[in-house]
Amino acid sequence: MPDKPFTYDYIIAGAGAAGLSLMCYLLSHENLQTKRILLLDRDLKQTNDRTWCFWETSESPFESCLKSKWAKLHFHSQEFSALLDISPYRYKMLDSLSFYQHCFNLMARFPNVEFRQDEMVALEPNGIIRGKKAVYQAEYVFNSVLFQIPKLPQKHYLVQHFKGIFIRTPSPVFKPEEPTLMDFRVAQHGDCRFMYVLPVNAHEALVEYTGFSEAVLPQEEYDSEIQAYLRDFLHITDYDITHEEFGIIPMTDAPFSKQMSEQVINIGTAGGATKASTGYTFSFIQRQCAAIAQNLARGEKPLTGSEKTINKFAFYDSVFLRVLQEKKQEPWRVFHDMFSKLPASLILKFLNEETSLLEDLRIMNAVDRTIFLSAVIKQGLGSSTAS
């Protein structure tokens, strides 16, 4: 292995959602377009390894890669079912391969941006990366490789785990305008479990079984739950599976370090972009990466310090995780209370961390106040109360 490091202005370690998003935002600023940038990943990113969904009111920079978008969402519980208007939001679906290809096509237009396939074995605070094939160094390293999640006392550690299948049916069984965000009519098994159905046309849909809990399930359980849902709720028995995906997303309020040093900035899930209470990450990655690129374009440091201010949403997430983990209330009821009493757009705004304090109070008013207040008090006591 050569001793002398390959040097760059910026290294983007990990060419996934965050790394490639950051590259796009950097290259959208004229004064950063000549920077020498290395994208480093152990994988070539040539497979469709995940589907990202998110919601927003405006156009996404990745609008051309969208597979579908919707203005309405179904919500179902045992006691309430509705097709909810989410205007001004649109719920959007992006397949990762289209996103990777879009980003690599952009990269090809900039000879100063390079991709190397290598496995990182060490990342040092001085901006040095030791890979299996070579050593790399930059003025700034933007790292999305998640080495480990800190295990701390009094923090909540749940996971969102899911298996999704893309199916194609011979007859037109889906209403393409009517996706299902959450269907809690499935057996809860003392946990929080729901189905998610995203039809892309009358014959094709993603059907996904999701759980929020401490551990993942045996693979056969996801399969049998999906089969039962297709049969019993959607009345579909004749279908082909065209693609499958399985995922585990951390749902934890353990703090992720936003930077290892002045030179090494963490991004994506590794930089705390995953929302602890929902697992949604893609929108938060966009905000995080757009802000970093803008700061650099202004000649400032990548992180301005505003991220050190107390985040009320992080507190709400901890409270929700506590309610979920302590099982003082059946988790489906929390979502039922919100979706049956409030406009869906307000709930999406809250989950996107865009609400005012007044709007937060409307959300709090919809859920069981005794249970949540008790969790707020325990969470507020924080350090002295074990979870």
Ligand X SMILES: Cc1cc2nc3c(=O)[nH]c(=O)nc-3n(C[C@H](O)[C@H](O)[C@H](O)COP(=O)(O)OP(=O)(O)OC[C@H]3O[C@@H](n4cnc5c(N)ncnc54)[C@H](O)[C@@H]3O)c2cc1C
Q: Does 56 bind ligand X (CB under 6 A)?
A: no
Q: How far is the CB of 141 from ligand X (least distance, A)?
A: 12
Query: 12, 39, 103, 145: which one contacts ligand X (CB under 6 A)?
Result: 145
Give exposure, 272-297, as e/b (b: 16+ Cβ within 10 Å).
bbbbbbebbbbbbbbebbbbbbbebe
Amino acid residing at 207: V
Is residue 9 involved in binding ligand X (CB under 6 A)? no
Stretch that binds ligand X, among 13-21, 67-75, 213-221, 328-336 (CB under 6 A): 13-21
Nearest residue (CB) to ligand X, 272 versus 331: 272
Give residues 236-265 in contact with ligand X (rule: CB under 6 A): 245, 247, 249
- Asked if 277 is part of the footprint of ligand X (rule: CB under 6 A), the reply reads no
Short-list 250, 223, 231, 259, CA closest to 142: 259
Half-sphere exposure of 7 (CA within 13 A, CB side): 4
Q: Which one of 144, 210, 263, 266 is in contact with ligand X (CB under 6 A)?
A: 144
Of residues 312-371, which lie at the interface with ligand X (CB under 6 A)?
none
Q: Does 177 bind ligand X (CB under 6 A)?
A: no
Which of 14, 272, 302, 331 is close enough to bind ligand X by CB under 6 A? 14
State which of residues 10, 229, 239, 282 lies at the interface with ligand X (CB under 6 A). 282
**Contacting residue, 39, 53, 123, 292, with ligand X by CB under 6 A:** 53
* Binding residues among 283-302 for ligand X as defined by CB under 6 A: 285
| 376 HSE (CA, 13 A, CB side) | 11
Given a contact cutoff of 8 angstroms between Cβ atoms, the answer to whether 281 and 249 are in contact is yes
Parallel/antiparallel/unpaired status of strands 90-95 and 66-70: antiparallel
Nearer to ligand X, 22 or 342 (CB): 22
Q: Which residues pair with 54 in a beta bridge?
A: 92
Q: Which range binds ligand X by CB under 6 A, 14-22, 166-174, 229-237, 320-328?
A: 14-22
| Residue whose pair of structure tokens reads 């194609």 in the numeric block | 168
Is 85 an interacting residue with respect to ligand X (CB under 6 A)?
no
Binding status of residue 128 toward ligand X by CB under 6 A: no
Mask 15-44, x = binds ligand X (CB under 6 A)? xxxxx---------------------xxx-
Closest separation in Å from C-beta 334 to ligand X: 20
Binding ligand X (rule: CB under 6 A), the pick from 137, 263, 277, 281 is 281
Spatial contact of 221 and 66, defined as CB atoms under 8 Å apart: no
Residue 197 in contact with ligand X, rule: CB under 6 A: no
How far, in Å, are 53, 129, 362 from residue 132 at the CA level? 34, 10, 52
* Closest separation in Å from C-beta 364 to ligand X: 24
The site for ligand X, by CB under 6 A, has a size of 28
Closest-approach residue to ligand X (CB): 16
Among 179, 199, 211, 268, binds ligand X (CB under 6 A): 268
169 vs 269, which CB is nearer to ligand X?
269
Site residues, ligand X (CB under 6 A): 14-19, 41-43, 50-54, 119-120, 144-145, 245, 247, 249, 268-270, 280-282, 285
